[in-house]
C-alpha cells in the first residue's frame, strides 16, 4: 500500500462519502475526537477533517465527508488506489472521557460522521451512550447500523418525518431530558446553529455540554493563528486547545461569522472544479 | 590594491514601481565585476571584527580575499566550512547588526557589503555545477533524529551528516524549510534556493519525513525508545502568534502575519492555479516593526492593495527589521506610521474591519531593552481607515514538545531550557532556535543548530557503548 492511498471509497448517501485511507503514522496514534489536515494535490488547500475512525493494525484511518467545498468536491473525484498529496495528524486533543458514566451525543447531518467515533469510543470505554442522530430526510440517513451496534440507545430523527421520528435533534434531546434521563455530559457535533441550541438546552438542565468546533486552519499545530475562537471571553485556538470546547462558553455568533469569511472565494472555487480541471490535478 | 570607494557597490534591483506588483526577487545579485570590485574594498584587517559579529563565525576576510582574485568556488568552500546555508544567509541575515555592523570600513564610510558577497559566492556555486563536493566523514551508523526542517534543523542535519551520522529529519508541514518556506516571501528568498539546499542535504544522505508531527504522530520519547535514535535535536520553531488583546481583534479581516504569510508563501495564494483563499483588501494596515511586519506589508502590496501601512509604536531607529527591508518597503510605497499604537479595531455591522483607532506616542525613558520606551500622548487618538489588519507583533512559545516529552525542562520564557552546548536536561535531547529563544533570526537558529550538532557529536563520542 502506498502512503495516503484510498483503500476503499463508499457513498453513504447522495452527498456523503466514506474513505478508508492508508496512513499508518496517524492511525497508530489517533483517538476519538481528533482530526487530520489533508491536501488533495500540490495545488490544493490544507483542510482539517475530524476522523470518523481508525484501525491501528491496518494502518488506516476513516474519513467521512460531505462534498460541500472545493477540496471535498475534488475528493469526490478521487478513486480507490488514488493517493492524497499529504495527510498530517493526529491533531487536536482527544475527546475527554474520564469520570463520565452516562452521556448523550447529538449529531446533526454530516456531523453524525464525526459524532460516531466519539459516541462509539465512549461506549467502548464503558460509558453509557444515548445517541440522537438527526437528518433532513430519509435519504440522508447515514451510519444507522453503526450507531445501533455501538451505542446503548440510538434515536434517529428526521426534520420531515420521512424516517424514524419526526423531530429536530433539539426537540428529541429536550424530550429525553424531560422524561427524566440524567446525563453527565451532552456532546454536540453538527452545524453551529444546532450545537448552539443543544448547548443551550444542556445549560437549562444544568448539564455540562461539549461542542466539536471547525475553523479555518493551515498548519494545525499552533503556528498560524487562523482558527482562533472566543471561549468564555478569551482567545483559544481550535487546533491545539480544541477541537472540543465547553459548549456553554463558546461565542457562537462570532464562530459562524468567522467561518463565513472566505465564502465568496470558496463559491468561485467550487464553481470551477469541473469546468476547469475536470478533477484532481496531477503534477510532479 | 584596496578599493577606496566610500560606498558599497549598489545592488542591482528590480524597479520599485514594477516589483511592488510581482513576487520575483527584488535584489538581482552582483555581477562578477561588481563582486570583485566590492571585495577589493575589504582592508583584510588583522582584528577581523566582522567574524566576531557572525553567529556562525564565517571566515569573512578569507572568503572575500578569494572573491577579489576571482576564486569564487574557493570563496564558497571557505563559507561552507562554517555556514550550511550561505545562499540563504546572504539574503536574510541582519548584516547591519552583525558582520557589517562591526566592519572597520563602516566607521567612516559604508561597510563592505559582506552579505551581498556571501550571496554572490553561493549563487555562483549553484550556477556552476560540477564542482567537487566537500569532504564528509564516512558513515558511522549512529542514528540522530532532527525535529523540524527549519533553519535550526537544516543546519544541525547538515553538520551531522558531514560528521558521518545517520540523520532523519521530521517535519510537520508538507514542505521542507520551515520559516524559509512558509514565512519569508519569494521576492526576498526564492523557494528554489531553499529547495536546492534541501536537495544538497538529501544527496548527502539526510532522510526527510514530512507530515510528521512530533509530539502527536510520534513523541520524542518514542523516537528514542522505539525508533532507536541515540540523540534528538528539537528545532520546532516558534508557536502561536501574539495578539494585542485590544477590542475588535476577531473581526473579519484581522489575521496574524503568520497566517497571511503562510497562505501566500507556503500555500502560494498569489498563483492562480492554487486553491488557497486569501484576504483581498484595498487598505491594509500591518502592526509591528520587525521583518515579519515588512514581509506582510510588502506581500499585501503585491497582492494588489492600494494602500499599505506599517503601524509601529516606536521610532524607525528602534525597528527590529533589517535596514534593507525597511528601505525596500519605503521604496515600494508602504506608508510608515511610526510612534503610533493601535487601541482598538473598528468594524461594520456585518463584522468586517473598517479601520484601526490609534494613539500617538512620544519617546520616553530608556527601557530594559535599551530602547526609549514609547509613552502615550493623551487625547491624540485618530483612525486609519483599513479593510484588513495584520498583526505582526511576535509569537509565543509552542509547548507541544515540552508537554509530550518526559521530564524535559522549560526555561523562564516557556521555551525548552538548554545550556551553552544546546543540551537540555535530558542528555540525549538537544534543542535550539525559536523553540528555545522565542522569535529570533534565521542565522541565530542556524547557529544553535550547529552548536547542537557539535554537542551531539561530543555526547555520542563520550557515551559508553
Query: Over the stretch B349-395, which tens digit does the pLDDT of each residue have?
Result: 989 999 999 999 999 888 887 888 899 999 999 999 999 999 999 99
CB B91 within 8 A of CB B119: yes
How high is the mean pLDDT of chain B?
93
- Partner-chain residue, chosen from A70, A219, A230, that has the shortest CB–CB distance to B275: A70
CB-CB neighbors (< 8 A) of A224 in chain B: 241, 256, 258-259, 262
Q: Is the pLDDT of residue B96 over 70?
A: yes
Chain B residues near any Cβ of chain A (below 8 Å): 172-174, 182, 210-213, 216-218, 237-241, 243, 245, 249-250, 252-253, 255-256, 258-259, 262-263, 266-268, 273-278, 280, 350-351, 398, 400
Q: What is the dihedral of CA B99, B105, B110, B113, to 10 degrees?
A: -50
Q: What is the pLDDT of residue A282?
A: 47
CB A64 within 8 A of CB A17: yes
The alpha-carbon gap from B396 to the nearest alpha carbon of chain A, in Å, equals: 9
Cβ separation of B239 and A222 shorter than 8 Å? yes
CB-CB neighbors (< 8 A) of A254 in chain B: 250, 351
End-to-end CA separation in angstroms for chain A: 20
Q: How far apart are CA A205 and CA B126, in angstroms?
A: 69
| H or E, element range at A86 | strand A86-91
Cis peptide before A90 (omega within 30 of 0): yes
Q: Is the pLDDT of residue B254 over 70?
A: yes
CB-CB neighbors (< 8 A) of B250 in chain A: 228, 230, 235, 254, 258
Q: Which residues, in sequence order, are CB contacts of B153 under 8 Å at separation 6+? A: B146, B147, B169, B171, B178, B233, B235, B433, B449
Q: What is the pLDDT of residues A190-219, one digit of tens each?
A: 999 999 999 999 999 999 999 999 888 899
End-to-end CA separation in angstroms for chain B: 56
Complex ipTM value: 0.89
Q: At what angle do helices B191-204 and B151-162 cross, to 10 degrees?
A: 30
Q: What is the pLDDT of residue B2?
A: 87
- pLDDT tier for residue B132 given thresholds of 50, 70 and 90: low
- pLDDT tier for residue A283 given thresholds of 50, 70 and 90: very low
Q: SS3 for A113?
A: helix
**Helices and strands (H and E) in chain A: how many:** 9, 16
CB-CB neighbors (< 8 A) of A45 in chain B: 267, 275-277
Locate all alpha helices (DSSP H) within chain A, ordered by sequence.
24-27, 70-76, 111-124, 144-150, 169-178, 192-204, 238-241, 252-259, 263-271
Q: What is the pLDDT of residues B413-461, one digit of tens each?
A: 899 999 999 999 999 999 999 999 988 889 899 999 999 999 999 999 9
- pLDDT tier for residue B272 given thresholds of 50, 70 and 90: confident
CB-CB neighbors (< 8 A) of B191 in chain A: none
CB B415 within 8 A of CB B438: yes
Q: How far apart are CA B449 and CA B463, in angstroms?
A: 21
- Partner-chain residue, chosen from A89, A224, A230, that has the shortest CB–CB distance to B259: A224
Amino acid at each position: 500500500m502506498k502512503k495516503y492511498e484510498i483503500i476503499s471509497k463508499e457513498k453513504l448517501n447522495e452527498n456523503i462519502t466514506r474513505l478508508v485511507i492508508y496512513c499508518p503514522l496517524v492511525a497508530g496514534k489517533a483517538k476519538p475526537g481528533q482530526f487530520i489536515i489533508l491536501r488533495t494535490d500540490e495545488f490544493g488547500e490544507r483542510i482539517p477533517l475530524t476522523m470518523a475512525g481508525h484501525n491501528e493494525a491496518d494502518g488506516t484511518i476513516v474519513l467521512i465527508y460531505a462534498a460541500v467545498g472545493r477540496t471535498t468536491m475534488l475528493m469526490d473525484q478521487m478513486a480507490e488506489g488514488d493517493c492524497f498529496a499529504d495527510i498530517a495528524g493526529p491533531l487536536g486533543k482527544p475527546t475527554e472521557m474520564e469520570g463520565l458514566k452516562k452521556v448523550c451525543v447529538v449529531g446533526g447531518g454530516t456531523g453524525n460522521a464525526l459524532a460516531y467515533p466519539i459516541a462509539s469510543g465512549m461506549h467502548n470505554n464503558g460509558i453509557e451512550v444515548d445517541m440522537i442522530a438527526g437528518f433532513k430526510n430519509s435519504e440522508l440517513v447515514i451510519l444507522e447500523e453503526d450507531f445501533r451496534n455501538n451505542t446503548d440507545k440510538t434515536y434517529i430523527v428526521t426534520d420531515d418525518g420521512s424516517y424514524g421520528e419526526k423531530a429536530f435533534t433539539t426537540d428529541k434531546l429536550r424530550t429525553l431530558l424531560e422524561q427524566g434521563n440524567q446525563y453527565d455530559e451532552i456532546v454536540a457535533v453538527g452545524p453551529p446553529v444546532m450545537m448552539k441550541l443543544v448547548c443551550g438546552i444542556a445549560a437549562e438542565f444544568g448539564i455540562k455540554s461539549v461542542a466539536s468546533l471547525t475553523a479555518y486552519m493551515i498548519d494545525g499545530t499552533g503556528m498560524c493563528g487562523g482558527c482562533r475562537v472566543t471561549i468564555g471571553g478569551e482567545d483559544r485556538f481550535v487546533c491545539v486547545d480544541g477541537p472540543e470546547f465547553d459548549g456553554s462558553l463558546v461565542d457562537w455568533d462570532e464562530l459562524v461569522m468567522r467561518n463565513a469569511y472566505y465564502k465568496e472565494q470558496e463559491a468561485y472555487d467550487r464553481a470551477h472544479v469541473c469546468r476547469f480541471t475536470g478533477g484532481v490535478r496531477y503534477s510532479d | 590594491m584596496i578599493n577606496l570607494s566610500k560606498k558599497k557597490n549598489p545592488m542591482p534591483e528590480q524597479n520599485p514601481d514594477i516589483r511592488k506588483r510581482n513576487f520575483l526577487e527584488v535584489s538581482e545579485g552582483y555581477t562578477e565585476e561588481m563582486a570583485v570590485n566590492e571585495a577589493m574594498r575589504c582592508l583584510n584587517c588583522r582584528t577581523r571584527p566582522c567574524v566576531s559579529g557572525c553567529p556562525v563565525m564565517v571566515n569573512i576576510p578569507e572568503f572575500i580575499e578569494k572573491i577579489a582574485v576571482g576564486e569564487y568556488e574557493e570563496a564558497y568552500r571557505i563559507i561552507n566550512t562554517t555556514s550550511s546555508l550561505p545562499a540563504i544567509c546572504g539574503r536574510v541575515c541582519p548584516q547591519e547588526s552583525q558582520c557589517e555592523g562591526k566592519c572597520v570600513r563602516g566607521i567612516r564610510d559604508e561597510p563592505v557589503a559582506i552579505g551581498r558577497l556571501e550571496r554572490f559566492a553561493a549563487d555562483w556555486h549553484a550556477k556552476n555545477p560540477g564542482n567537487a563536493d566537500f569532504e564528509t566523514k564516512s558513515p558511522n551508523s549512529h542514528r540522530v533524529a532532527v525535529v523540524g526542517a527549519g533553519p535550526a534543523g537544516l543546519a544541525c542535519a547538515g553538520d551531522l551528516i558531514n560528521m558521518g551520522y545517520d540523520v532523519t529529519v521530521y517535519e510537520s508541514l508538507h514542505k521542507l524549510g520551515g520559516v524559509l518556506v512558509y514565512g519569508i516571501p519569494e521576492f526576498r528568498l526564492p523557494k528554489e534556493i531553499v529547495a536546492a539546499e534541501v536537495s544538497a542535504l538529501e544527496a548527502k544522505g539526510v532522510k526527510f519525513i514530512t507530515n510528521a508531527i512530533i509530539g502527536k504522530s510520534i513523541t520524542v520519547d518514542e523516537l528514542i525508545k522505539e525508533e532507536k535514535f541515540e540523540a534528538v535535536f528539537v528545532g520546532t520553531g516558534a508557536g502561536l502568534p501574539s495578539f494585542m488583546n485590544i477590542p475588535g481583534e476577531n473581526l473579519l479581516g484581522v489575521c496574524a502575519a503568520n497566517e497571511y504569510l503562510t497562505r501566500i508563501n507556503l500555500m502560494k495564494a498569489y498563483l492562480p492555479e492554487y486553491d488557497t483563499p486569501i484576504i483581498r483588501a484595498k487598505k491594509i494596515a500591518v502592526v509591528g516593526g520587525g521583518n515579519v511586519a515588512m514581509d506582510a506589508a510588502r506581500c499585501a502590496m503585491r497582492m494588489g492593495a492600494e494602500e499599505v501601512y506599517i503601524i509601529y509604536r516606536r521610532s524607525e531607529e528602534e525597528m527590529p527589521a533589517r535596514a534593507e527591508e525597511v528601505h525596500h518597503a519605503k521604496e515600494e510605497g508602504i506608508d510608515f506610521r511610526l510612534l503610533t499604537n493601535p487601541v482598538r479595531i473598528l468594524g461594520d455591522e456585518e463584522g468586517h474591519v473598517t479601520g484601526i483607532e490609534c494613539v500617538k506616542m512620544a519617546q520616553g525613558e530608556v527601557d530594559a531593552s535599551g530602547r526609549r520606551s514609547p509613552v502615550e500622548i493623551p487625547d491624540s487618538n485618530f483612525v486609519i481607515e483599513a479593510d484588513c489588519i495584520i498583526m505582526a507583533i511576535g509569537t509565543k512559545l509552542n509547548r507541544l514538545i515540552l508537554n509530550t516529552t518526559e521530564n524535559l525542562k522549560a526555561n523562564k520564557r516557556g521555551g525548552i531550557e538548554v545550556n551553552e552546548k544546546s543540551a537540555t536536561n535530558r542528555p540525549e535531547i538537544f534543542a535550539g532556535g525559536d523553540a528555545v529563544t522565542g522569535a529570533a533570526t534565521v542565522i541565530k537558529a542556524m547557529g544553535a543548530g550547529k552548536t547542537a550538532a557539535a554537542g551531539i557529536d561530543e555526547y555520542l563520542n563520550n557515551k559508553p557503548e
